[in-house]
Amino acid sequence: MQKANHTGLSHFLLLGLSEDPEIQSTLFGSFLSIYLVTVLGNLLIILVITCDSHLHTPMYFFLCNLSFVDIGFISTTVPKMLVNIQTQSKDISYMECITQAFSFMTFLGVDDFLLTVMAYDRFVAICHPLRYTLIMNPRLCGSLVLMSWFIILWVDLTHILLLMRLTFSTGTEIPHFFCELPQVLKVARSDTLTNNIFLNVLTVLLGLFPVSGIIFSYFQIISSLMKMSSTASRYKAFSTCGSHLCVVSLFYGTALGVYLSSAVTHSSHKSSVASVIYAVVTPLLNPFIYSLRNKDMMGALGRLLRRAVSYLPWTSVFRSTGILLCLRKIL
């Protein structure tokens, strides 16, 4: 194959999850459904939190930001995959690949930081309830989110600048369904030692410190819960952490597994499957985990639906027949 630097490249080839036409049809339907449900579910969470004043608290502020990041997270990878399946093409231009890698790492990193910030929020709420509003003030909450974006953007910009120094062969095949940085580094024709060192060091740091923060927060939370005399109080306090723990376990278990194993394994299929879990399934499950397990969210959703029903143009007809009253009772 002809060797070329990045300025001479026109495209890469994404091999995807399977080349079987029948399996590709199934993948298209499945991923399209997952994408639509994920986007609509997270948009609904953002709408509910924005419209309901009862949810204007630090916990739901971070959840609103997490939903926004999850929409960007899945939108970085799935639409291009669906287009390639539909058009029966594997092409992705060099700049599209670079942009996809940068966007994916950015949303991944911010997701990582937000989960840590949410653990800290639960720690303050349970361990220091009397000082909660003083500590978790709007200024601090906004600063934590902005700092997360600032750190991740600079780290990922460095990744991309190092990546753009590499050379690739024309028509390079990437054994993945999107341009994930470790997979792109594996197919480079020039020396990637610096890139791999930087990737592994940053992966450990951006994984170790957030995970350590989450573990410390929950250690303190459990210690505080053990001091509570009432079992009902313990359950009520810890129930607010259940959703967060589910998402953390799913996210870190797969994401760190993919990145830390990329240096020692050559199985692109296993890496692709694991990437589907944290890049596609996790954003899909977040709306269900945070809404169905949360009474405040369900209550706010019910209030929003009742208001929506009240403003429908045909409610005057329903009012006269008593149907509107029945709908309100159901909601």
Q: What is the DSSP string of 151-198?
A: HHHHHHHHHHHHHTT-EEETT-EESSSS--HHHHHHT-SS--HHHHHH
Amino acid at position 248, single letter? V
Supply the pLDDT for residue 233.
Answer: 67
3-state secondary structure (DSSP) of residue 96: helix
Distances (CA, A) of 314 to 22, 303, 307, 327: 45, 19, 14, 13
Structure token pair of residue 222: 């459990």
Supply the pLDDT for residue 107.
Answer: 93
Q: In what order do the strands lie in the sheet with 11-14?
A: 91-93, 11-14, 173-174
Contact 2, 169 (CB under 8 A): yes
Task: Give CA–CA dist 247/286, Å, rounded.
Answer: 7
3-state secondary structure (DSSP) of residue 137: coil
Distances (CA, A) of 47 to 41, 55, 254, 268: 10, 11, 29, 38
What number of other Cβ atoms are within 10 A of residue 263's Cβ? 13
- All domains in the chain, ordered by first residue: 3-301 (1.20.1070.10)
Contact 68, 107 (CB under 8 A): no
Buried b (16+ CB within 10 A) or exposed e, 104-125: bbbbbbbbbbbbbbbbbbbbbb
Supply the pLDDT for residue 2.
Answer: 44
Containing 242, the helix (H) or strand (E) segment is helix 231-261
Per-residue pLDDT of the chain (331 residues; tens, 9 = 90+): 444 444 445 678 888 777 777 788 888 898 999 999 999 989 988 988 888 888 888 988 998 999 999 999 999 999 998 988 888 888 888 889 899 999 999 998 999 899 999 999 989 988 888 899 999 999 999 999 999 999 999 999 999 999 988 888 777 888 888 888 888 888 888 888 999 899 888 888 887 888 889 999 988 888 888 877 777 667 766 777 777 888 888 777 766 666 555 555 555 666 676 677 778 888 888 888 776 666 777 777 777 777 766 666 645 544 545 555 554 555 5
Give the strand pairing for 167-169 and 173-174.
unpaired
Supply the pLDDT for residue 317.
Answer: 47
Task: Give CA–CA dist 128/122, Å, rounded.
Answer: 10
Task: Give CA–CA dist 142/147, Å, rounded.
Answer: 9
